[in-house]
């Protein structure tokens, strides 16, 4: 995700200073004019704005803190945008210890294809003035009409977790329905068309599942290990606010079973394959 987003920032004319745990991941950006920095602190020292896009809240915490962390190099009135799918606690800690810092949480939706094409949906939490000031940055990575200021600090993280929670639930429900229908003898194309033209219609049934039905693509651009992480964060959030999340917990179990069966790097849509293997049929149009 981060590589596509960064390439679009570069195409939009922003001067970049970059760092990654794998230096080779930045080779194309450096060849295009970006400057490599050996540490996050060096990135911050050379930048007016720091953007992080990282796998887990722990990664965000570690990159921000420590002698080589972002905060060690950032000026007291600098700007940090965290675009990771994370939780508010890490950013809250940063804001409390650095009261002059401008902080936005801005996780994204749109898969790796959206990151590459600059068509991401972005959910921004934080001060409206900062959102307005940084609009050109967001516009370089996402579709302008789908870049949403969703509330104060932490709201972006929450909206993204709820979106993921619902999308993963759609995935499991769709896989189950298609597997049952096909096993019962209904043609897959007929069944899907009936669903698309019914009250059970959803964006997942109409569009997203086609990557599997047409191409056998389980979206390896986003690993199932990360999907399991996101589901865990969503159920943790539900517990923290006292809302039962029985369905989401079951969906999380199914995703974890798929991860155990096919490996951490399998695509986020691999739970569909669990159902395909159960019925002995690949769901293809």
Catalogue the active-site residues: 160
> DSSP class of residue 34?
P
Distance, in Å, from the CA atom of 80 to the CA atom of 94, rounded to the nearest integer, reads 10
Please tell me the number of Cα atoms within 13 Å of 76 on its side-chain side: 5
Q: Which residues contact 43 (CB under 8 A, 6 or more apart)?
A: 17, 18, 19, 37, 50, 70, 73
Burial code (b: 16+ CB inside 10 Å, e: under 16) for 37-75 equals bebbbbbbbebebbbbbbbbbebbbebbbeeebbbbbbe
Q: How far apart are CA 98 and CA 147, in angstroms?
A: 27
- Distances in whole angstroms, Cα of residue 177 to Cα of each of 70, 99, 183, 188, 245: 47, 50, 10, 10, 21
Strands 79-82 and 102-105 turn out to be parallel
In terms of C-beta density within 10 A (0-12 exposed, 13-18 middle, 19 or more buried), how is residue 262 classed? Answer: middle
């Amino acid at each position: 995700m981060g590589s596509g987003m960064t390439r679009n920032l570069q195409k939009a004319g922003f001067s970049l200073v970059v760092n990654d745990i794998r230096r080779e991941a930045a080779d194309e950006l450096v060849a295009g004019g970006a400057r490599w920095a050996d540490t996050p602190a060096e990135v911050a020292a050379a930048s007016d704005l720091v953007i992080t896009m990282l796998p887990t809240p722990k990664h965000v915490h570690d990159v921000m803190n420590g002698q080589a962390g972002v905060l060690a190099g950032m000026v007291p009135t600098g700007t940090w945008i965290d675009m990771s799918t994370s939780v508010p606690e890490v950013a809250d800690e940063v804001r409390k210890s650095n009261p002059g810092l401008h902080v936005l949480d801005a996780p994204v939706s749109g898969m790796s294809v959206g990151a590459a094409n600059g068509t991401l949906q972005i959910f921004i939490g934080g001060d409206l003035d900062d959102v307005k000031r940084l609009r050109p940055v967001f516009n370089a990575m996402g579709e302008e009409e789908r870049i949403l200021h969703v509330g104060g600090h932490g709201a972006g993280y929450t909206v993204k977790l709820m979106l993921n929670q619902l999308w993963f639930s759609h995935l499991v429900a769709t896989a189950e329905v298609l597997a049952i229908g096909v096993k019962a003898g209904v043609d897959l194309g007929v069944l899907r068309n009936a669903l698309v033209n019914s009250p059970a219609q959803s964006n997942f049934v109409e569009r997203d599942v086609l990557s599997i039905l047409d191409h056998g693509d389980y979206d390896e651009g986003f690993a199932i290990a990360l999907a399991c992480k996101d589901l865990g964060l969503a159920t943790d959030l539900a517990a923290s606010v006292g809302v039962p999340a029985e369905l989401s917990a079951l969906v999380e179990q199914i995703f974890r079973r798929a991860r155990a069966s096919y490996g951490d790097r399998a695509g986020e849509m691999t739970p569909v394959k669990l159902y395909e293997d159960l019925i002995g049929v690949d769901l293809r149009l």
